[in-house]
Amino acid sequence: MGRVLVGLHLHPSPQEGQGERDGKCLSRRVYLLNLVKVQVIGFESLPNSYADCPDFGHVLRALLDGPSRDHKDFLVVNRCLFFRSRLCVPCTSLRDFLTWKCHTRGLFGHFSRNKTIVAVEYQFYWPTLKRDVGNINALYKQAADMHRRPRIFQVGDQVMVRMRPKRYAPSSATKLHARSAGPFRVLS
């Protein structure tokens, strides 16, 4: 049997210091719920979405019936489903929004696929997370490529060449150097 800590069913383990870990997990879950409530409009409808979700509907039904060995890593807190300490996100547009939010990430901006997966996996869980993040990042590249136009130069055209050395000398002040050189004539 598990322990009840502030109305939550937590499973004991034979490790020492388990009570301290339970408290940390509990506070992290509450913090995550409050953070998502503040930042995501429509978060109130999230608990109602679990029942119809093909990924988490059966898990929620099993947990509401009682403790289950098949779903021992799942927990229901304030009608929200958690996998270990990560919030489970049902099949809604919220998945795309959270992926976009972690991809843009404020000032750091536009992480690659792997960094976006790490950022999303840290707080959220759904079974197809890695595939979904890869698909969304591919869409970002397609959208960026749509705004590019092909540049085909003809013989005799004047072009500027962008200079980007691989390494700078340790004592050089590169902010005053020219960024491009030219114009140069296209020969062949």
Determine the Cα–Cα distance for residues 110 and 127; give it in Å rounded to an integer: 23
For residue 183, what is the enclosing H or E element?
A: strand 180-185
The 10s digit of each residue's pLDDT in 115-147 is 888 888 888 899 998 999 888 888 888 888 888
Direct distance between the N- and C-terminal alpha carbons of the chain, in angstroms, rounded to an integer: 80
The 10s digit of each residue's pLDDT in 84-124 is 888 898 988 888 888 887 777 654 567 778 888 888 888 88
Quick one: tokens of 49? 């979405």
What's residue 131's pLDDT?
92
Percentage of the residues of the chain whose pLDDT score is greater than 90: 6
What's residue 180's pLDDT?
72
Of the candidates 116, 118, 155, the one whose C-alpha atom is nearest the C-alpha of residue 137 is 116
